[in-house]
Structure 1
Amino acid sequence: MFKLNLPFPPSVNTYWRHVGNRVLVSKKGRQYQAAVSSLLRRKRVKTLDGDLIVDIRLIPPDRRRRDVDNSLKALLDAMQFGGAYEDDSQIVRLTVEKFAPEPNADRAEVVVQRVPAPIGQAGFRTCLRCDEAFQSDGPGNRICLPCQQINAMFSCKVEDMRGKKRHNGEVIIEREEDSI
């Protein structure tokens, strides 16, 4: 498993160029591939084999509208070009999240890991709450035990508040004489 902070990928609209009857990777696409490849070499990332899970968090440079699927091709191809994995067909599960833009923080945070067990069977999973790997007992278990305990503590408080009268989000405490 490895985690990377990569530059924000170019859109697929600028990734390809048509030259005559051929389709080539554009200059911008080749520059992105070189940047990702260089970063993978500096981090000494070893090529992963077998089925893979890839989690991507996109943090765009500005508020322009972007489709997350337009960023995937350049990102996944650049990681393959850089040697993170043999072929992007190894990816069996891919999750992508787009976050609000941050000043000077345009990047793609990528986590690549081997599939620890066949899909649908027990094995290691990544917790949906804290993003840490944990031993799962099946496909329905996607939250680690510490996070389950935290959820249980807060759900008790939520259960106590259900059905109560509220004003501006605050629970109205009724006096016993008012309820008679």
Structure 2
Amino acid sequence: MIRLTLPYPPSVNHYWRHVGNRVLISKEGRKYRAAVSSLLNRKNIETLTGDLIVDIVVYPPDRRRRDVDNCLKAMLDSMQWGGAYEDDSQIVRLTIEKREPAPKAGNAEVVIQRIPAPIGKAGFRSCLRCDEAFVSTGPGNRICESCTFINDLLPPAMPIERGCKRHNGDLM
């Protein structure tokens, strides 16, 4: 499994440039690709083979409206170019989630892992807490045994009171 924190990628609208009848990667796109490649080289990442699962959480740099699918192409191609995997056609499951903007500069947290069984085989899931693949006991089981044990040790959560207004945490 590979865990990465990448800079926020350029939008697909800024990744490509049309020059005559040719389509090229823009200067911004080449700069991003070089940054990702440098990060992968510093971490000594070995190229993954076989079918892969990629989970991405993006934190935009500001509150402007952004489509999550516009940042995928630059990110996936840059990780391939940097050697995280041989080809992005190896990805058989891809999830992306957009969260609140990062304070100063956006980033993307990426987890790449091999599939523990053929994609069609039932019963394998990724843990929602640690992102490790595990054998699931049913459709409601989304947390592995070790994380379930940790959850059992935690104190119960405070109940959420619906329909009550609060001011500075106090009920009004």
User: Normalised by the size of structure 2, how large is the TM-score?
Assistant: 0.81
2:75 equivalent to 1:88: no
User: What is the CA-CA distance between 1:24 and the residue it aligns to?
Assistant: 0.5
Q: Please give the alpha-carbon distance, in whole angstroms, between the structure 2 residues aligned to 1:78 and 1:133.
A: 24
Q: Superposed, which structure 2 residues align to 1:69-148 within 5 Å?
A: 69-119=69-119, 120-123=121-124, 125-128=125-128, 130-133=129-132, 135-137=134-136, 140=139, 141-145=141-145
Where structure 2 has 5 or more consecutive residues not aligned to the other structure, the ranges are: 166-172
Distance in 1 of aligned mates of 2:38 and 2:163:
57
Post-superposition Cα deviations, 1:151-171, rounded to whole Å, max 9, x if no partner, equal 8x969x98xxxxxxx9849xx
Give matches, 1:12-31, under 5 Å: 12-31=12-31
What letter matches 2:75 in structure 1?
A: L
Q: TM-score scaled to structure 1, two decimals?
A: 0.78
Tell me how far apart the structure 2 counterparts of residues 30 and 44 of structure 1 sit (CA, whole Å). 21
Over 6 Å off, 4+ runs = none
Query: Deviation of residue 138 (structure 1)?
Result: 5.5
Distance 2:115 2:70 in 1: 25
Deviations 1:23-66 (A, max 9, x none): 01001000000000000000000000000000000001110111
What corresponds to 1:178 in structure 2? none
C-alpha RMSD of matched pairs (Å): 2.6
Give 1:109 deviation, angstroms.
0.4
Aligned residues with identical type, % of pairs = 62
Q: Judging changes above 3 Å, is the alpha-carbon distance between structure 1 residues 146 and 47 closer, same or farther for their aligned structure 2 residues?
A: closer
